[in-house]
Structure 1
Amino acid sequence: MVNLKRTREDVLYNVIDLVHRQGFHSTGLKELLSSSGVSSGSFYNYFHSKDELGHALIDFKWHKLKSALFGIPQPDAIAQLFAMIDQLEKIHQAEQPCAGCFLGNLIVELVEHDASFRPHLIKVFDEWQQEIARLLHAGSSQLKPKVDPDRLAQQLLSAIEGALLLGRLYNNPERLQHYLDGCRDLLTASLR
């Protein structure tokens, strides 16, 4: 017998692509309910408001992204960073049309809508930058002597987000590859 009961995670999984493609504000409740496969009563049992859904989607996406970007063991910390960029490219090249970074898109769309989204997204991007910095510190013997791992982490994250934003704008797989190659070049130029 098929279990038709949906869980909170099922709802998040089923609506995240819709929100990613259409935007949080442009996605109506009817579309969310249809995509999630739950009734409005069940939906509000999981999320007291659409904004609460937005916060849950941020955490859900960050958890999935962290696993995808940093969950595959590499020979060393610098190789892990190159693998992170490669994995981002793989993820975003598979999306056609390119929808950009889900989390980056939410910065543009939500931080002015509700003040609670700003610190939440700052926390996520700080964690991402700290993970990059941690790897750069671990691989510091491979970096040029004057390279500051913390500053390079900030530059890499900025370059990655810029690449994904422009990837969405141009919706051209070759351009996206070139933009992410710029991230690789930034890392390579920092190596001995």
Structure 2
Amino acid sequence: MPVATRTTDTRRIILDTAQRIMARKGYSAVGINEVLAEAGIPKGSFYHYFASKDAFGEAILKSYFTDYLTDMDRVLARSGQSSAERLMAYWQQWRQTQSIEDCQGKCLAVKLGAEVADLSEPMRLALKEGTSAVVDRIEQTITSGLEDGSLSVDGEARDVAQALYDMWLGASIMAKIHRSPAPLDTATAATRKLLHL
């Protein structure tokens, strides 16, 4: 195997392992040694791939959002569905991924947002960039839905997209607090009202 491929694979293994652990435990509670041990990577290798834990955290979030947005694009590009159906399929997927494991969820934006925004400016900016890209896609789908007549909104598509994302983020946090999917069910009903479905 070429060295470049091994380097990319090893870096990806570290990032994927860290995402899984941090989705459960948060950022501050996870040490680099824990990630490397679970990944099966020698301890001395970390600084070959990342300059610091802060740079590591930024890389985790960027990697997470790259994967998240790819999956989101796949859901929102389904053929044979109206824009409203595709958008509701996205929210349904969100509900499913946030309801797993007693509502502990898998979303790093939910899990790490408040925790790291004050710890690290590069991590805050990675979260801002990633969440803005999510809202962009919601806005585009709402605009498409207005064009195909499958939904309607009161106000600007961007404002509604931002309100929906903010609501779902809050509902995900409340689902974690209550260990119940009820806040996500409420978000689903409110989403239908906002989109006049």
Same fold (TM over 0.5): yes
1-structure distance, mates of 2:70, 2:28: 27
What is the CA distance between 1:96 and its match in structure 2? 4.2
Structure 2 residues without counterparts, runs of 5 or longer: 1-5
**Two-structure CA RMSD over aligned residues (Å):** 2.0
Correspondence list, 1:8-157, <5 A: 8-72=11-75, 73-74=78-79, 75-96=81-102, 98-99=104-105, 101-140=107-146, 141-144=149-152, 146-157=154-165
Unaligned residue ranges in structure 1 (runs of 5+): none
Tell me, yes or no, if the aligned pair for 1:163 and 1:179 is still in contact at 8 Å.
Answer: yes
Give yes or no for contact 2:135–2:165 (8 Å, CA) kept in 1: yes
The alignment covers a number of residue pairs equal to: 184
Greater fraction helix: 2
Shift of 1:159: 1.0
CA–CA separation in structure 2 for the residues paired with 1:182 and 1:96 = 17
Whole-Å separation in 2 of the counterparts to 1:168 and 1:49: 30
Letter in 1 for 2:183: Y
Q: CA deviation at 1:97?
A: 5.5
On the 8 A contact 1:69/1:88 being kept in 2, the answer is no
Normalised by the length of structure 1, the TM-score is: 0.86
> Under a length normalisation based on structure 2, what TM-score does the superposition of the two structures give?
0.84
Letter in 2 for 1:191: H
Please list the CA deviations of residues 126-154 of structure 1 after superposition, one character each: whole Å capped at 9, or x if unmatched: 11111100000000133336342111101
C-alpha distance in structure 2 between counterparts of 1:170 and 1:96, whole Å = 9
Extract structure 1 runs of 4+ deviating beyond 6 A. Answer: none
State the AA in 2 paired with 1:154.
Answer: Q
Indicate the percent of aligned positions where both proteins have the same amino acid: 21
- Tell whether the 8 Å contact from 1:14 to 1:36 is kept in structure 2 after alignment: yes
Change (3 A) 1:146 1:24: closer
State yes or no: 1:181 paired with 2:185.
Answer: yes
Counterpart contact for 2:117–2:123, Cα < 8 Å: yes
Q: What is the aligned partner in structure 2 of residue 158 from structure 1? A: 166
Give 3-state SS (helix, strand or coil) of 1:108's partner. Answer: helix
Of stretches 89-98 and 58-67 in structure 1, the one that deviates more from structure 2 is 89-98
